[in-house]
A and B are shown apart, each in its own frame.
Chain A
Amino acid sequence: MKEKKSATNPFYTIMHPFNCSYDIRFKEKGNGVLTIIILAVFFLTSIYQRQSTGYIFNDNKLSELNVFVQFISVILPFVLFVTANWIVAILMNGTGRFRDIWIYGAYCCIPFILGNIVSVWLSNILVMEEPFGGYVQIAGATWSLVILFIGLMIMHEYGFTQNVFSCICTILVMFILLFLIMLVGNLASDLYGFVMTVAKELIFRMS
C-alpha cells in the first residue's frame, strides 16, 4: 500500500474512494486548506461556465452576471449538504465527523468541476446537433455522486441500504434547513423594521 499517496492527494481520492474515505476518517489524512482551494475553484468554474460556454449552448444573458448569486449557488448547497449529512449522522449513529464530511465532500466535487470545464471547451467547438458537452457534464456529475455515496458509506460505517436511507434523510434535512434559514431571515428583517420604526417614532417625538 502506498501510504504516502493516499488522502492528501484529492486526485488519488477520486480514483480510490474506499481507501481515502477510510484514511480521512480514521487516519486524519484530510487537508483542510485544500478543500478551501477546491471550493474556490468550484466557484470560479461556475462563473467560467456561465460566461464562456459557447454561444450555441449558452442561454445566459452575459451582461447580467451576479457574482454574489453565483457564490451562493455554489457554496450554499455544499454547506447545506455537509451540515445536513452531519445532523443525520448524529441521529443515525454514523461515525463521520463534520470535518471528515466536509473534506471528503470537497474532494468529491473534483470530477464534477472537471466535467464542467471540459464541457465548456467542447461547447466552443461543437454545433447544436452534437450535444456531447452535456454528456460529459452528466458523466462528471455521476462520478461525483457515486464516490460521494461510497465515501459516506465507509465514513459512517453504514451498510448499503442504511446509507441510501441516510442520503434521503439528508436531502429532507437540507430542505428543512433551507426553510429555517428563510424563516430566520424573514423574522430578522421584520424585527429590524420594527426596531427602526420605534426608533424613528422616538426621534420624531423627542425633537
Chain B
Amino acid sequence: MRKIKTCGIALCLAAAMFAGADMKAEAQSNFNSYSYDEWDGSVEAPASYQPVMVKNGFEIGAGPLNTPQDFFMDKDGHLYVADTGNNRILVLDAELELLEIMETVRMNGEEVPLTDVEGMYVTEDHVLYASQTQSGRILIIRDGEVTGIIEKPVSNLISDDFIFAPTKIGLDIYGRVYVLSKGCYSGLLQFDVDGSFMGFFGANKVEVTAQVAFNYMWKSILSDEQRAAMTSILPIEYSNIDCSEDGFVYTSTVGTQLPKSQIKKLNPLGNNTYFALGNAEFNFGDEELSYKKGKANYPSFIDVKANEKGFIFAIDLTSGRIFERDQEANLVAVFGGMGNQTGTFSTPVAVDVYGDRVYVLDRLKNNITVFEPTEYGALVEEAICTYGEGRYDEASGLWMQVLARNANSKLAYNGIGKAFTQGEEYTDALQYLRYSGDKYSYSKAFGKNRLVVVRRYGPYAIVLIVCVAAALSVRKRVVRRKKK
C-alpha cells in the first residue's frame, strides 16, 4: 500500500516536472527579447512576438521560391509575393495558402512575362503595381491585364543620363505614386494619379561624418579640376517606403554611417516628423552595437511598415531583428534575429502586417515567417493605444498589468506616471516618472508639485518671516531705548 502511494507521488512529481519543462519550452524563443533602460543598456523583457508559422515554397505548394525581393499584403489579407528569381508573382491568403500564380500578364493582346519584379503595391480595388527594375518601368495590372505603364519621366528635373530603375512603390491615400529608383539620390519620384511626374520627394541629407567634414575642408582649398577628381559626397538612398493611411510616408535607409534617423516619417511636404525633444534625432536600431575588427555594425534598415494601430515595424538587416515602435518612436518590442531556427533570418528583405500579425520575407532562406503577439505583447500595444485615445485611468490599469509581467518596462512606468500626473497625484507621479527615466515629463510633474507645495506652505512661511522681522525691529528699538 505504502509502495503504491510513493509510486503515485513520484509519478505526480514526474508529471509535474514534465509539464513544467513543456511550458518552459513553449515560452522560450530562438531569439532574445529586450528593451533599453535609461542609460541605453539592454535589459531583459518578455517576448512580445512569437513565430507561429514558417513556410517555404514547397509548403506553400508553388515549388521553391528563388530570391524573392518583396511582398505586399492588401486590405483583404491577400499576400502578393514577388518571386523574382522565378519571374512570377504568387498570391497567397493570410494563412499562406496558395491562391494564384501569376507568370504572365496581357499587354496589348500579348502575353508578357513578369520578369525581375522588385517591388509591388496593391490598391484596395485590387489594382497591382509591379516595378520591373531592369526594364525600367512600372506595370499597372488589373485582372491580369496591363492597363497602364509608368516609365522614365520626361522633365526638366531629370537629366538624359538618369537611369530609371524602379524598385519599391507606394501609393498614398490620394492615389499619388511614390517610386524608389535604384541609384537616385534626390529622393522618391512622385507621380500624380494620371501617371504624370510631379517631382522629387523627401531626399535624405548628407550625413556629416569626420570624413565628410575633411573632404569639405579640402574642397574649399582645391582648384576646380582637383575638386572634380575627388569622390563626390552623396546622401544615402532609401531602401524602402510605406505609405500609411494617415497620409504620411515612412522610409527606411540602409548603410547609414551614423545610427540616426534610419526611419523617417515624411509629411506631405517631404519633411521628416520623427524628432525627439530639441530636434534630436532618434536611433531606430540597437543602442548597444557589436563590433567587428574595430568597426561598429550599425543597424541597416531594409523595410518598414506601419500597422492600423500606428505601430511601425522596421527590420534591420545587420542584426535580423524587427524593431516595433509607437508613434512617438518609443521602443515597444524587439523580436527576431540572425540564425537558422524558427523565427530567425538569414537575409530578411521585407516586412508586412495584417491585423496583429507580422510577416517577414527572407531572400536567402526563401521562406516567409509569420509572427503573432504574445499575451504580453498584446497587452503593451493595448495600453499604448488606450493611452493614445486619452483614457488615462484605463491605460494606467493596463500598464499595471504590464508591470506585473515586466518590471523593466520604461513605457509602463511612464504611462502610470503620466496618468498620476493627470490625476494630480504628484508624489506617485514623480516616483513612476523617475523609474521611466523621462526627464521632461518628470520636470513637468515636478513643477506642478512645486506649485502645490508653495501654495500650501507659502502663507505660513510669509507669516513667519513677517513675525520674525517685527520681533527684530521691536528688539532693536528696545535696545536703543535702554542705551538712552
Interface of A toward B, CB cutoff 8 Å: 55-56, 61, 125, 127-129
Contact = CB atoms under 8 A, between A and B. Distances in A.
Nearest to B37: A61
A55 B450 contact: no
A55 B442 contact: yes
Contacts of A125: 450
A127 B434 contact: no
A127 B39 contact: no
Given A56-B446, A61-B39, A128 B440 contact: yes
Contacts of A61: 39
10 contacts: A55-B434, A55-B439, A56-B443, A125-B450, A127-B446, A127-B447, A127-B450, A128-B443, A129-B443, A129-B447
Interface in B393-443: 434, 439-440, 442-443
A128 B440 CA distance: 7
Contacts of A129: 443, 447
Interface in B441-468: 442-444, 446-447, 450
B450 A128 contact: no
What is the interface residue range for chain B against chain A? 10 to 19
Contacts of B447: 127, 129
Nearest to A128: B443
Nearest to A125: B450
A55 B435 CA distance: 11
3 interchain residue pairs of minimum CB distance: A128-B443, A127-B447, A127-B443
A125 B443 CA distance: 10
Contacts of A56: 439, 442-443, 446
Contacts of B444: 127
Given A56-B442, A129-B447, 17 more contacts: A55-B434, A55-B439, A55-B442, A56-B439, A56-B443, A56-B446, A61-B39, A125-B450, A127-B443, A127-B444, A127-B446, A127-B447, A127-B450, A128-B439, A128-B440, A128-B443, A129-B443
A91 B306 CA distance: 69
Nearest to B437: A55
A73 to B, nearest CB: 20
A56 B450 CA distance: 14
B461 to A, nearest CB: 14
Interface in B82-124: none
Nearest to B41: A61
Contacts of A128: 439-440, 443
A61 B439 CA distance: 14
A127 B450 CA distance: 9
A125 to B, nearest CB: 7
A14 B326 CA distance: 55
A127 B434 CA distance: 14
A128 B278 CA distance: 13
A61 B440 CA distance: 17
A127 B453 CA distance: 14
Nearest to B454: A125
Contacts of B442: 55-56
A173 B114 CA distance: 73
Nearest to A60: B39
A149 B157 CA distance: 62
B341 to A, nearest CB: 35
A61 B37 CA distance: 11
B427 to A, nearest CB: 14
A125 B446 CA distance: 9
A129 B440 CA distance: 10
A166 B109 CA distance: 90
